[in-house]
Amino acid sequence: MVDVEPRLEDVEKIRKELEVKLGNIARRIEYVSGAGLIVEVPKDSIRDTVKVVHDELDAYLRVIAGVDERPIKGVFSSYYVFGLDNIGLNIIITTYMDSENPSISTIADIAPSADWYELEMYDLLGIRVENRQLYRFVLPEDWPEGLYPLRKDVAHNIRPPPTPAEKGVITGPRIPVGPYHPALHEPEYFELYVEGERVVDVRYNGFHVHRGIEKLGESRFTYQQVPFLAERICGICGFVHSVCYTQAVENAAKIEVPERAEFIRSIILEVERLHSHLLWVGVACHLLGYDAGFMHAWRIREKTMVLAELLTGSRKTYGINLIGGVRKDINRDKIDTVLKTIKWVEDEFRKLVEVITSVPQVVKRASGTGILPRHEARRYSVVGPVARASGLNRDVRKDYPYAAYKYVSFKVPVYTEGDNLARLLVRVDEIFESINIIRQLLDQLPSGSIMAEDIEIPEGKIGVSSVEAPRGEDIHLVITGKGRPYRWRVRAPTYQNIPALKVMLKDAPLADAPLTIASIDPCFSCTDRVIVVDVSTRKRKIISLRKLVKLEGNGCMI
Partner 1 sequence: MYDMSLLKPLKLIRIARRAGVVTVRYPYQPPLITDEFRGRIVIDAKKCIGCGACVNVCPSNALTLIDDGDKRILNYFIGRCIYCGRCADVCPVNAITISKEFELATDKIENLNSRVVHQKSTCCSCGEERVATEKMISYVVSRVPVSEAYAHMGSNCRKRRFVEGLMLGRGMLHVETEK
What's the closest the beta carbon of residue 100 comes to partner 1, in angstroms? 37
Phi-psi region of 169 (alpha: psi -120 to 50; beta: other; left: phi over 0): beta
Rounded Cα gap, residues 136 and 146, in angstroms: 12
Query: What is the rounded CA–CA span in Å between residue 267 and residue 261?
Result: 10
Closest CA relative to residue 150, chosen from 210, 81, 88: 210
- Contact between residue 487 and residue 461 where contact means Cβ atoms under 8 Å apart: no
Per DSSP, helices labelled H in 54-110 are: 70-73
Shortest CA distance to 432 belongs to which of 375, 350, 489?
Answer: 350
* Between 352 and 435, CB nearer to partner 1: 352
Please tell me the count of residues contacting partner 1 according to CB under 8 A. 29
Is 302 a binding residue for partner 1 by CB under 8 A? The answer is yes
At 287, is the secondary structure helix, strand, or coil?
A: helix
Among 21, 132, 327, 502, binds partner 1 (CB under 8 A): 327
Other CB atoms within 10 Å distance of the CB of residue 538: 7
The answer to whether residue 319 forms part of the interface with partner 1 (CB under 8 A) is: yes
Restricting to residues 331-360, name those near partner 1 by CB under 8 A: 348, 351-352, 354-355, 358-360
Phi, psi of 356 (to 5 degrees): -60, -45
Applying CB under 8 A, the span of 142-150, 172-180, 194-202, 218-226 interacting with partner 1 comes to 218-226
Check binding of 246 to partner 1 (CB under 8 A).
Answer: no
Cβ closest to partner 1, residue 196 vs residue 313: 313
Only one of the segments 11-19, 221-229, 368-376, 485-493 lies at the binding site for partner 1 (rule: CB under 8 A); that segment is 221-229
Check: CB of residue 294 under 8 Å from CB of residue 278. Answer: no
Segment interacting with partner 1, rule: CB under 8 A, options 64-72, 115-123, 191-199, 306-314: 306-314
Q: Which stretch binds partner 1 (CB under 8 A): 62-70, 220-228, 515-523, 535-543?
A: 220-228
Find the DSSP H helices in 126-258: 213-219, 226-230, 238-253
Question: What sign results for the dihedral spanned by CA atoms 361, 202, 494, 550?
Answer: negative
Residue type, 99: S
The answer to whether residue 197 forms part of the interface with partner 1 (CB under 8 A) is no
Which CB sits closer to partner 1, 161 or 360?
A: 360
309 binds partner 1, rule: CB under 8 A: yes
Q: Smallest gap, in angstroms, from Cβ of residue 222 to partner 1?
A: 8
Nearest approach in angstroms of CB 432 to partner 1 is: 18
313 binds partner 1 (CB under 8 A): yes
- Tally the residues of the chain: 558
The whole-angstrom separation of Cα 243 and Cα 262 is: 10
Question: Could you tell me the smallest distance in angstroms from the CB atom of residue 368 to partner 1?
Answer: 19
Question: Is position 292 an interface residue for partner 1 (rule: CB under 8 A)?
Answer: yes
Determine the interface stretch with partner 1 among 245-253, 293-301, 476-484, 539-547 (rule: CB under 8 A): 293-301
Single out the residue of 33, 205, 219, 317 in contact with partner 1 (rule: CB under 8 A): 317
From 14, 26, 229, 285, residue interacting with partner 1 (rule: CB under 8 A): 229
Nearer residue to partner 1 within complex by CB, 294 or 432: 294
Of 243, 311, 345, 511, the one binding partner 1 by CB under 8 A: 311
| Shortest CB 302 distance to partner 1, Å | 7
We find the least distance from the C-beta atom of residue 303 to partner 1, in angstroms, to be 10
- Output helix, strand, coil percentages for the chain, rounded to the nearest 5: 40, 20, 40
Binding partner 1 (rule: CB under 8 A), the pick from 57, 72, 75, 310 is 310
Long-range contacts of 138-141 (CB under 8 A, 24+ apart): 138/207, 138/210, 139/177, 139/210, 140/174, 140/175, 140/176, 140/177, 141/165, 141/166, 141/171, 141/174
- Is 187 or 217 the residue whose CB approaches partner 1 more closely? 217
Tell me how far apart the alpha carbons of residues 143 and 140 are, in angstroms, rounded to a whole number.
6
- In sequence order, the 6+-apart residues with CB closer than 8 A to the CB of 558 are none
Q: Which has the closest alpha carbon to 450: 330, 533, 546, 534? A: 330
Question: 260 vs 529, which CB is nearer to partner 1?
Answer: 260
Pick 363 or 543: Cβ nearer partner 1: 363
Q: Which stretch binds partner 1 (CB under 8 A): 115-123, 165-173, 298-306, 477-485?
A: 298-306
CA distance 201 to 197: 12
Give the span between the Cα atoms of 252 and 220, in whole angstroms.
Answer: 20
How far is it, in rounded angstroms, from Cα 437 to Cα 101? 51
Could you say whether residue 225 binds partner 1 (CB under 8 A)? yes
Work out whether 242 is an interface residue with partner 1 (CB under 8 A): no
Which of 241, 260, 296, 491 is close enough to bind partner 1 by CB under 8 A?
296
How far apart are CB 271 and partner 1 at their closest, in Å?
A: 13
Binding window for partner 1 (CB under 8 A); candidates: 53-61, 259-267, 294-302, 438-446:
294-302
* Helix H or strand E segment including 478: strand 472-480
Site residues, partner 1 (CB under 8 A): 221, 224-225, 228-229, 292-293, 296, 299, 302, 306, 309-314, 317, 319, 327-328, 348, 351-352, 354-355, 358-360
